[in-house]
Amino acid sequence: MGGLSTAEIARAFLVSELLALMLLHDSRRDARIRDGEIVPLHEQDRLCWIAAAPQTAGSVAGRSIVRA
């Protein structure tokens, strides 16, 4: 990341990590509510999770680590 200050690099890293967390959280959207009630993580049907989202989130996080 030529030409960027340490603060700019840290900010870019944090934004990438936040995006990865949001992707993981969103991947469970369809499994979090059942019959109008919130379903705890340990009771969620993992087949309802968006399968590609954790891989995408991992890629985003991995790229931010490599760049930092």
Higher pLDDT, 9 or 37: 37
Query: For residue 19, what are the CA distances in angstroms to 24, 35, 63?
Result: 9, 29, 12
Q: How far apart are CA 31 and CA 11, in angstroms?
A: 32
- pLDDT confidence of residue 56: 72
Question: Position of tokens 């959280």?
Answer: 25
- pLDDT confidence of residue 1: 47
Looking at the predicted structure, is the pLDDT value of residue 49 above 60?
Answer: yes
Higher pLDDT, 59 or 22: 22
Which residues, 6 or more positions from 63, have their beta carbon under 8 angstroms from its beta carbon? Answer: 16
